[in-house]
């Protein structure tokens, strides 16, 4: 038989993979620094460097030559925002990977499955009716987590036919669940808020935005992200096996029930936390696992860290675009990510059809 060499993914060698990660870290740094400079006020690099170093060392390492207002823009507004963008992008990508392993379907992601909208509804209900007051600052997140948990259960129930999840069912389930929870969110907002406030909060909880970023929220999100990341890195081998299907995974030795429960908990926790800081931002969890997979392969030990870097960096860039393109106004970041993600989604569906057809 003739041997065909098929290039499945270009970066086989471990050293190439490392170089890719290092390059991505550099790109991430450049994107973050650019994001700090750009916006309604453009700030020169020296000033940013001065402010950051002074703040981080809590000393006047660089003599203060800038206005106090700039310091506030850089440190209180842009820095948390840039890092939030990265964490949100990275976290959504990680959720996407988890959902895709869970459903064995590359179309799955928290937004497509309607889980982001479930989390939104949960967060809004807490904000509007305040029933989780005893949790203090964590109340919104807890609400979002609960909303995510309810919607993932619903979506998985609708999507699975005889214990199998088909692509069509998955997409349909997602449409139904996001429509339902989107409607609930709008109902709650229009029920409680008044005037122009309505439109603003509604668009925030439907489209997502990073304009509400703060150090406080960033702190929670970062902790949640790092904990989930660490746990997922411990599960990478089991995730690899689970891709083969539940039956195969269990005969190879994986406790699939426990693993799937773990995946659902991690994915909903992450989605909840992320949606509570940024609202539902679509298509990140769909696009970047797929792109990264085609570069570094399907093994999760490589895929997860690489995809996290790619997805996080993308959202930092998307955030720059959202602030620059209609300046001095700001576009919801969900609009930008949808412009990139939606065509990609269509491409995946078409590709899936072709595969099924021939």
Partner 1 sequence: MKLNVENVSYSIGAKLIVDGVSLGVEEGSFVGLVGPNGCGKSTLLKNIYKVYKPDSGKVFIDGKDLAQLSNKETAKEMSVMQQENNVEFDMLVFDMVMLGRYSHQKMFGTDMVSEGRIVKDALAEVGLSGYEERSFLSLSGGEKQRTLVARALVQKAELVILDEPTNHLDIGYQYQIMNILKNQDLTVFSSIHDLNIASCYCDKIILMKAGRIVDFGTPEEMFVPEKIRNLFGVDTEVNVNPHTGRPNIVFYPQ
Rounded to whole angstroms, the Cα distance separating 138 from 135 reads: 5
Which of the ranges 57-65, 168-176, 246-254, 341-349 carries the binding residues for partner 1, by CB under 8 A? 246-254
Q: Judged by CB under 8 A, which of 153, 160, 211, 298 binds partner 1? A: 298
Q: Where are the alpha helices (DSSP H) in the chain?
A: 14-37, 45-57, 68-72, 79-103, 115-129, 139-159, 167-192, 195-207, 215-234, 236-242, 246-252, 256-278, 284-296, 300-324, 333-357
243 interacts with partner 1 by CB under 8 A? yes
327 interacts with partner 1 by CB under 8 A? no
Q: How far apart, in Å, do the first and last CA atoms of the chain sit?
A: 22
Which of the ranges 52-60, 103-111, 134-142, 203-211 carries the binding residues for partner 1, by CB under 8 A? 103-111
Rounded to whole angstroms, the Cα distance separating 322 from 325 reads: 6
CB of 253 to partner 1, least distance (A): 3
Residues 168-227 that bind partner 1 (CB under 8 A): none
CB of 105 to partner 1, least distance (A): 6
241 interacts with partner 1 by CB under 8 A? yes
Rounded to whole angstroms, the Cα distance separating 111 from 180 reads: 13
147 interacts with partner 1 by CB under 8 A? no
- Show the binding pattern over residues 106-145: x = contacts partner 1 (CB under 8 A), - = does not: x---------------------------------------
301 interacts with partner 1 by CB under 8 A? no
6 interacts with partner 1 by CB under 8 A? yes
Q: Closest CB to partner 1 among 267 and 315?
A: 267
Q: Closest CB to partner 1 among 169 and 298?
A: 298
Which of the ranges 6-14, 60-68, 80-88, 148-156 carries the binding residues for partner 1, by CB under 8 A? 6-14
Rounded to whole angstroms, the Cα distance separating 297 from 291 reads: 10
57 interacts with partner 1 by CB under 8 A? no
Token output for 245: 């299907």
* Residue where the block lists tokens 């299907």: 245
245 interacts with partner 1 by CB under 8 A? yes
12 interacts with partner 1 by CB under 8 A? yes
Contacts of the segment 299-304: beta carbons below 8 A, 24+ positions apart? 299/236, 299/240, 300/97, 300/101, 300/232, 300/235, 300/236, 300/237, 300/239, 300/240, 301/233, 301/236, 301/237, 301/240, 302/17, 303/97, 304/94, 304/97, 304/229, 304/232, 304/233, 304/236
Element at 164 (helix H, strand E): strand 164-165
CB of 248 to partner 1, least distance (A): 6
Which residues of the chain form contacts with partner 1 (CB under 8 A)? 3-6, 8, 12, 100, 104-106, 234, 237-238, 240-241, 243-245, 247-248, 250-256, 293, 297-299
């Amino acid at each position: 038989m003739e041997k065909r060499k098929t290039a499945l993914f270009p970066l086989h060698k471990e050293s190439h993979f490392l170089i890719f990660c290092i390059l991505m870290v550099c790109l991430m740094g450049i994107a973050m620094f650019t994001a700090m400079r750009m916006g309604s006020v453009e700030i020169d690099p020296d000033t940013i460097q001065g402010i950051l170093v002074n703040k981080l060392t809590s000393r006047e390492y660089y003599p203060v030559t800038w206005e106090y207002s700039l310091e506030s823009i850089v440190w209180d507004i842009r820095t948390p925002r840039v890092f939030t963008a990265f964490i949100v992008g990275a976290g959504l990508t990680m959720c996407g990977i988890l959902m895709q392993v869970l459903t064995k379907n590359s179309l799955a992601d928290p937004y497509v499955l309607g889980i982001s909208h479930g989390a939104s509804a949960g967060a809004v209900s807490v904000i509007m009716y305040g029933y989780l007051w005893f949790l203090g600052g964590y109340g919104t997140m807890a609400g979002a987590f609960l909303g995510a948990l309810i919607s993932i259960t619903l979506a998985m129930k609708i999507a699975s036919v005889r214990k199998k999840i088909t692509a069509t069912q998955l997409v349909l389930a997602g449409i139904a669940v996001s429509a339902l929870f989107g409607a609930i969110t709008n109902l709650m907002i229009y029920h409680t808020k008044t005037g122009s406030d309505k439109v603003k909060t509604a668009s925030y909880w439907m489209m997502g935005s990073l304009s509400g970023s703060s150090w406080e929220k960033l702190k929670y999100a970062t902790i949640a992200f790092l904990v989930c990341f660490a746990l997922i890195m411990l599960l990478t081998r089991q995730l690899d096996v689970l891709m083969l299907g539940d039956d195969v995974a269990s005969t190879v030795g994986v406790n699939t029930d426990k693993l799937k429960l773990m995946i659902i908990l991690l994915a909903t926790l992450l989605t909840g936390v992320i949606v509570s800081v940024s609202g539902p931002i679509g298509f990140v969890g769909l696009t970047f696992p797929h792109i990264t997979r085609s570069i570094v392969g399907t093994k999760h030990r490589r895929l997860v860290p690489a995809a996290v870097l790619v997805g996080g960096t993308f959202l930092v860039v998307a955030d720059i675009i959202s602030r620059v393109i209609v300046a001095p106004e700001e576009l919801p970041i969900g609009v930008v990510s949808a412009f990139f993600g939606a065509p990609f989604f269509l491409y995946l569906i078409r590709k899936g059809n072709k595969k099924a057809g021939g």
